[in-house]
Structure 1
Amino acid sequence: LVERAPAAAARFDEAVLLVATSAALPAGDLRVWELPQDGRAASAARGLVTGQLAAWGLDELADVSELVVSELVGNALRYGNGPGELRLLRGERLVVEVSDTGPDLPQIQHAGLSDEGGRGLQLINMLCRRWGSSRTATGKVVWAEQNMPSSVLDRRSQP
């Protein structure tokens, strides 16, 4: 880019070039489900996640994952016009994603001692490695990622 800039230009704007590669996921490392648009969504999501974690041999992540998916789906029901897809990605970390059609990105609320709600993202923030959200063409995706147990990472790196 620098070589292509006009030599006599009075002004030169810096540019950033991002180079990314993609790699195909190993078969079976991504699961995607459509969730019901009603009060059954959180229960359905918990069952799907715990069932898939058991199939992957990741039972020790089930308790936190159940809580995370319950909070994400609950937020989608309350603030996002209902959940869309639930995605579970197994890689170097375990990622749980829930999509919805709501326009607003989530923010951690600072609930008072007597408040009955408003602590879901605080819990996710404490229990997970990190979490975040991204806008999509139809709404947003909210995700949370957990570290994989070292025993699982060791097994996956062996030929």
Structure 2
Amino acid sequence: MLDHVLPPSGLPPWSDGEERLEYLQLAVRAIHQEPEAPRVARRFTAASLHSWELDLLIDDTNVVVSELVTNALRHGMRTALATRPAAQHVRVVLCRTEHSVLCAVTDPSDQGPCLREPGDDAESGRGLQVVQGISQMWGWSPLEGRGKAVWAAFALPSLNGRRLEACR
């Protein structure tokens, strides 16, 4: 799964080309299409970040994972189910490096997300704007074979002007 989220070079998608992955923690969870799915994804994300001692990222990351899971279930699964009735699950992938956390949500659809400007009275369509506003950066990548990963990156919080040290 990881090689689908990160480019083959081993660099995270938000890297300037200098960062090599010497430290990596992963957490992966399948999310089923059910009304509680965003809540399940938030609980998984909060528990993972808490176990990595990154409680300062829980609130923002939970908002993002909720939006990405909702989009994956609403759009990604619908598109995939229309063409392939036996489509796979949505997955949440959390990846921590020395300097950042990547939150990716995969779905079986090949169609990429579309950032749009909803009308003032629109009741939906703002999810990716929220993701863009909260995360350091976001994007999407096609998966090998079929599907895509929509991801958002967060810099690790600083503590008194220095980066949190990775637990070894």
TM over 0.5: yes
- Are the structure 2 counterparts of residues 25 and 158 from structure 1 closer, same or farther at C-alpha, using a change threshold of 3 Å? closer
Partner of 2:165: 156
Gaps of 5+ in 2: 1-7, 12-19, 79-88
Partner of 1:63: 59
Query: Percent identical across equivalent pairs?
Result: 32
One-letter code of the match for 1:50?
A
Instruction: Measure how far apart 1:32 and its partner are.
Output: 1.0
- Are the structure 2 counterparts of residues 113 and 33 from structure 1 closer, same or farther at C-alpha, using a change threshold of 3 Å? same
Q: What SS is found at the alignment partner of 1:81?
A: helix
- Are the structure 2 counterparts of residues 75 and 157 from structure 1 closer, same or farther at C-alpha, using a change threshold of 3 Å? closer
Gaps of 5+ in 1: 1-18
Partner of 1:6: none
What is the alpha-carbon distance in structure 1 between the residues aligned to residue 65 and residue 10 of structure 2? 29
Instruction: Measure how far apart 1:103 and its partner are.
Output: 2.1
Q: Please state if 1:88 is matched with 2:94.
A: yes
The alignment's TM-score, normalised by the length of structure 1, stands at: 0.78
One-letter code of the match for 2:159?
S
The alignment's TM-score, normalised by the length of structure 2, stands at: 0.74
Deviations 1:24-58 (A, max 9, x none): 6646x111111112222211100000011111111
Deviations 1:60-94 (A, max 9, x none): 11111110000000000111017521110111111
What is the alpha-carbon distance in structure 1 between the residues aligned to residue 121 and residue 10 of structure 2? 48
Q: After the TM superposition, which of the residue ranges 30-39 and 98-107 deviates more from structure 2?
A: 30-39
- Are the structure 2 counterparts of residues 62 and 157 from structure 1 closer, same or farther at C-alpha, using a change threshold of 3 Å? closer
- Are the structure 2 counterparts of residues 20 and 37 from structure 1 closer, same or farther at C-alpha, using a change threshold of 3 Å? same
Q: What SS is found at the alignment partner of 2:115?
A: coil
Q: Please state if 1:121 is matched with 2:117.
A: no
Partner of 2:140: 133
- Are the structure 2 counterparts of residues 158 and 90 from structure 1 closer, same or farther at C-alpha, using a change threshold of 3 Å? closer
Q: Which has the larger radius of gyration?
A: 1
What is the alpha-carbon distance in structure 1 between the residues aligned to residue 10 and residue 100 of structure 2? 19
- Are the structure 2 counterparts of residues 25 and 38 from structure 1 closer, same or farther at C-alpha, using a change threshold of 3 Å? farther
- Are the structure 2 counterparts of residues 135 and 45 from structure 1 closer, same or farther at C-alpha, using a change threshold of 3 Å? same
What is the alpha-carbon distance in structure 2 between the residues aligned to residue 25 and residue 99 of structure 1? 24
Q: Work out the number of aligned pairs and report it.
A: 140
Partner of 1:49: 45
